[in-house]
Amino acid sequence: MNQQHDNPELLQGDILNALEDALYRGKLGRRDFLRLAVAAGAGMGAAQSMAQDGSDAAITQLYNAANLQPEYDYIVVGSGSGGAVVAGRLAAESDARVLVLEAGGTDRVEAVLNPGLWPTNIRSERDWGHSAAPGAAVNNRALILPMGKVVGGGSSVNVMVWSRGHKNDFDAWAAETGDPGWSYARVLEIYKRIEDWQGTPDPARRGKGGRLWVTPPQNPNPIAPAMLDAAASVGIPRFADQNGDMMEGAGGAALANLRIRDGRRRNIPSDYLYQALKRRNITLLTGAEVQALQMEGNRVKGLTFVRNGQVHTVAAARRVVLSAGAINTPKILMLSGIGDEAELKRHGIKTVAKLPGVGRNFQDHVLVAGCVWEYNKALPPANSAAEATFFWKSDASLPGPDLQPFQIEVPYASEVTGPQFNAPAGCWSIAPGLVRPKSRGRVTLSSSNPAAMAQIDGAFLTHPDDVKALLRGIELCREIGNSAAMKEFVKREVMPGPLPRQDMTSFLRNAAGTYFHQSCTCKMGRDDMAVVDGRLSVRGVEGLSIADASVMPTVSTGNTMAPTVIIGERMADILLK
Euclidean distance between CA atoms 337 and 292, whole angstroms: 9
Which one of the listed residues 130, 166, 365, 517 is annotated catalytic?
Answer: 517
Cα–Cα distance, 72 to 337 (Å, whole number): 23
- The closest alpha carbon to 265, from 161, 168, 163, belongs to 161
d(Cα 510, Cα 521) in Å, to the nearest integer?
26
Dihedral sign for Cα atoms in the order 326, 329, 330, 335: positive
Integer Cα distance of 72 and 281 in angstroms: 9
Pairing of strands 71-77, 98-102: parallel
Question: Judging by beta carbons within 10 Å of its beta carbon (0-12, 13-18, 19+), is residue 566 exposed, middle or buried?
Answer: buried
Neighbours of 125 (CB within 10 A): 12
Q: Among 576, 370, 406, which Cα is nearest to 493's? A: 370
- Rounded to whole angstroms, the Cα distance separating 216 from 260 reads 9
CA distance 271 to 498: 47
d(CA 425, CA 435) in angstroms, rounded, equals: 28
Whether the CB-CB separation of 41 and 12 falls below 8 Å is answered with: yes
Q: Residue 224: what residue type?
A: A
Query: Nearest to residue 476, comparing CAs of 565, 357, 392, 570?
Result: 392
Whole-number Å distance between alpha carbons of 292 and 322: 11
Specify whether 5 is catalytic.
no
CA distance 427 to 363: 30
For residue 97, what are the CA distances in angstroms to 310, 367, 368?
23, 41, 45
For 53-104, give the DSSP string: HHHHHHHHHHHHHHT--SEEEEEEE--STTHHHHHHHHHHHS---EEEEESS
Is residue 217 within 8 A of residue 258, CB to CB? The reply is: yes
- Enumerate the active-site residues: 517
